[in-house]
Structures are given as C-alpha cells and as structure tokens.
Structure 1
Amino acid sequence: MSHLVFDAPRVAEAYDAARPEYPAALYDALSELSGTTLDGATVVDVGAGTGISSRGMQKRGARVVAADLAGHMLAYHDGASVLADGNVLPFRDGSADLVTYAQAWHWLDPARSIEEAKRVSRKAVAGWWNSVDTRKAGWLAECQIRLSDVPGYTGPEGRDLPAIARAMTEGGLDVRDRWVHWTRHVRLDVFLTNLRSHSYMARLDQAQADELIDRERAELLRVCPGGDLVVPMRVYLAVGRKEPAG
C-alpha cells in the first residue's frame, strides 16, 4: 500500500485535525536515549505528514526540516519543509543532529532508509508510533475487533513495531527503545475523524467510509453516552545512536 494515499485534501485535513499529538515524556525520552538536547538541535523529520512531531520538536527549540512526499500534508507546516523520498534524502552528509520518523518509517525500505538516515545524521536516528492501548479499555478492544473487517486494517499498532529497532541494529547503530504510556481525553467526533485519517479508511469510497463512521458513532455512544472519551495510549520509541552511549 502506498503512503501517497495520504496525499489528498480530505485525508490531510482529517489527519491534521484529529491525529493525537505526542506526550511531553516522549520528547524527554528522545533526548535521553539519543544523548541530544532538542533545544538548538537540527532535525530532519522524515514522513512528517502535517507536522505533529515537527511542531512538538520545534516547541522544544529544535530547528526542524519536515520531509514528505505528500504535498497536501506538508501544506500544514509553517516551518521549513521539502518534498522528499525518505529512501533518498536530499540532504548533505552529517547535516542534521537527528533524523526522525514519527508514525512513518514503515512506509519506507528498511535498509535503504536507515542507511540514508545514518548518512544525514551526526548523532542518532529515531522512530516512534502512537497507538491505542486496548489492554486498558474494553470498549477500545471492541472497536478494534469491528475495524478488523476493513480491508488493509492491521491492528491498533499497525506494524511489527520493533522492526525499526532490528533495522537500526543491522545498520550498525547502538539501539535503545522504550514504551511511553499516556492518556488522551477527546471528544467522540475527533476520535471518529482520527479514524478517517488512517490509510485503511482513506482507501474506502466515501459511502463505505461514512457507513463505517456511522456504525462506530452508534456503538461508542452506547458505551460513552456523553461523547467524552478517555483513551489509553502508548508510544513506542526506538533510538539508534551512531556512537554507543557512554
């Protein structure tokens, strides 16, 4: 499945409006595991989408260049951005402190992308993924079971998340990883818009997508009548340092 399914105005709009941000503890862990303070760091954010991770790092003082092949997603950036393939980065050797992938690495070639990230990065390569934690909420688990009927749906995490850690290790990086747990408080409409922003939904025709959203609205209102959802979340973070930690 091509990641260019995201390069459509309606998908980009849903993504920017409803995808969750990342908790402060994620950025703290990124700095700790990479040995790099974000304040003043230069970061290339690959597969940056509408800039959720880019903005999070900018708020902490990083100079971020967002790279993505989806122009409609990059249109939401207010900082530096470039149309670019993460497998062939248009940056000089050692031009960034960090190369990051937030919710994006799984669209790329594992070996080629890590080699490119190593070439561009002076210090470390990092990737992370937000996912709902179905172990902590029965209604979330039931929602995921219903979504399993949708073609292309691969579960709440979507991928074998430790794959990036293996690719980093095979690429000669010194790898550390961590799970960061947090809670998202969100209105039902935002939760449903978030569903629309995922690739398996973007590939449905409009009538099918609307039918699925209507079904989920009815089911979720049954268990959360007020429409205020408390969503347990967790972020998987893998960091590969070019030099071993001291």
Structure 2
Amino acid sequence: MSVTGPSRALGRVFDRVADAYDAARPGYPDELFRALGEMSGVELTGATVVDVGAGTGISARALRERGARVVALDPGREMLARLVARNLSSSTAEPRGQGVVVAVQGDGNALPIRDGGADLVTYAQSWHWLDPAASVTEARRVLRDGGAIAAWWNTTDAGRADWLAAYEVRLAESCPTYWGPALPEWNVPQIAAALPVEERWLRWTRLVAVDDFLLDLRSHSYMVTMPQEAADELVAMQRAELLRVFPEGVLTVPMRVYLAVGR
C-alpha cells in the first residue's frame, strides 16, 4: 500500500532518527502484556495483531514473543528496515511456538487489512499521530467479533524523582516544541475520547546508561525539529547535569505505562 500525505511526512520525520530509535527507545514491562490479555479478553498466543505505527518493532517483537502473528504497519521505510533486520537476525534463535512478524509500509488511517481479519489492533506510542475518527473506524472494520483495540504509551514518571523532574524542565526551557510532563497541560493522548476504553497505569523502573538515555532523547519528534547545533548543545547540557547526579553513568529511571483497551 502506498503512503501519502501526513503519513508520508511522519515517516520521513522518524526515518531521520531510525538508528537512535532502534538502539535506545525503551521496551515494555511484562505486566503490560499480562494486562493487555486480561483487559482485551484476547489470548495473545495464536492471535492476529495489527500493530499500527510499529516503528522499528519494539512492541511487535514483544507480541511475537508471546505467540502472536503480527502485521507491523508503519509509514517509515527506514523504520521498517530496522524492524526487518532485527526480525531476521533473531529468527533462527527463536524457540518453536513463537509467533511471526510481517512488515508492511502503510497508513494507519487506511489499513491494508481485510474486514474482520484481526483479533487485536494495537498502537504503541503511535495513536496520537493518526486521525482520531478515521483510525478508530478502520480498526473497528478489521476486527473480528470479540476483538479489541489497545493503545499504550511509555512515559517517564517525573513525580517520583527530583532529578527527572529537573531534566524535563530543562527540556521545556530549551526546546520550543517540547511536549512532556514539565508542561501543566500535558497528558497522554486521549484515545478514550474516541471510543469507550478501560484504562490502567503500570509502574516500572528502567536501568539505562546516560548515553543511551540521551540517544533515546534524540529520537523524539520535538528534538528532530530542532536545528542540529541547538540539539547538540541541549544534549551536552543534559549529559553534564545527569552525570553530576549519576557519576557512575547509569540512571535508574522511574517509568509508567498508560494502557487503554476498547472491546
């Protein structure tokens, strides 16, 4: 399926940082997938899952490891190239009984999936980039009876660590297009406004090297839009401040995942 309009532009934005995204974006805790099965009523083993905005495959791989057949859809050619490379490099080491991942370049507002072909449609860090009405209409079209729509977002939990709150404030002060917990109006994307959902917050902790944490920062859209010199200066400032608090170079980052499931 060809990708046009806003989806193609979005694909170009993240294609520019595909390597950073693939190397440094965090995964998800096991509890997320346990909660997903409980809230959706869908057993992941053997399920057909359309993972919209799959990026480099962080969520798609986790779903595959739990036995799902995953259609990983993304508008970004370079993002999907990383997903395919990861999938191929790990396929020979996978135990029998695990699922599969198929990469498809496409638009989440016009899914290239037949009616009633999926048990789950998922959006990991992605639903907010789509048209709220069109994307949910398409998700409903491709779901079988008893299927579910699920969206989740990893966020840092700045309220649990002063150093992290200060880090977010520095981002807000230095990056004109910053969107995050340092802003009083910030919130996770409200998919609940588009369909009835059950919601849950899950806490976890990420251990990560300072340089990987800052590589993750570079993969965010508000950093991509900054002039390169300004972005480099911001990263250097953040590195100095983080190393002052964590001189050993390893961060303990409080995280939380917001999960919303509509059945």
TM-score normalized by structure 1? 0.92
Task: Within 5 Å, give how 1:125-204 maps onto structure 2.
Answer: 125-149=149-173, 150-156=175-181, 160-161=187-188, 163-169=190-196, 175-204=197-226
Q: 2:109 aligns with which of 75, 87, 107?
A: 87
How many correspondences in the alignment? 234
Deviation track 1:90-111 (CA, whole Å, cap 9, x = no partner) reads: 1100101000000000000101
SS at match of 1:195: helix
Match of 2:128 in 1: 106
CA distance in 2, matches of 1:108, 1:176: 20
Structure 1 counterpart of 2:24: 18
Are the aligned partners of 1:131 and 1:157 in contact in 2 as well (CA < 8 Å)?
no
CA contact (8 A) 2:181 2:187 kept: no
Q: Which runs of 5+ in 2 are unaligned?
A: 1-5, 88-100
Q: Does 1:61 align with 2:79?
A: no
Q: Deviations over 1:36-79 (max 9, x none)?
A: 11111100000001000000100000010100101110111223
Quick check: 1:126–1:237 contact (8 Å CA) kept in 2?
A: yes
Out of 6, 11, 15, the residue aligned to residue 7 of structure 1 is: 15
Cα distance in 2 for partners of 1:166, 1:207 equals 39
2-structure distance, mates of 1:208, 1:35:
47
CA drift at 1:206:
2.1
- Identity of counterpart residues, as a percentage? 60
Structure 1 residue runs of 5 or longer lacking an equivalent are 170-174, 242-246
- What SS class does the counterpart of residue 255 from structure 2 fall into? strand
What is the RMSD of the two structures over their aligned residues, measured on CA atoms? 1.5
CA-CA distance at 1:156 after TM superposition: 3.7
Any runs of at least 4 consecutive aligned residues in structure 1 with deviations exceeding 4 A, and if so which?
none
1:219-234 pair list within 5 angstroms: 219-234=241-256
Instruction: Kindly provide the CA deviation profile for residues 191-214 of structure 1, in whole angstroms up to 9, marking residues without a partner as x.
Output: 010000100111122222111111
User: TM-score normalised to the size of structure 2?
Assistant: 0.86
Aligned partners of 2:168 and 2:182 also within 8 Å: no
| Residue in structure 2 matching 1:124, options 145, 148, 159 | 148
Structure 1 residues 113-144: Cα deviation after superposition (integer angstroms, max 9, x where no partner): 00100111220000000000001000000000
Distance 1:162 1:48 in 2: 17
Q: In structure 2, how many angstroms separate the alpha carbons of the residues matched to 1:162 and 1:190? A: 25
Distance in structure 1 (CA, Å) of the matches to 2:106 and 2:21 = 19
Give distance in 2, aligned partners of 1:146 and 1:154. Answer: 12
37 and 121 in structure 1: CA distance in 2 versus 1, 3 angstrom threshold: same
Structure 2 contact 172–182 (Cα < 8 Å) conserved = no
AA aligned opposite 2:39: L
2:188 is paired with a residue whose SS is coil
1:115 equivalent among 108, 112, 137: 137
Per-residue deviation, 1:3: 2.7
2: CA distance, partners of 1:151 / 1:52? 28
Contact 1:132–1:157 (Cα < 8 Å) also in 2: no
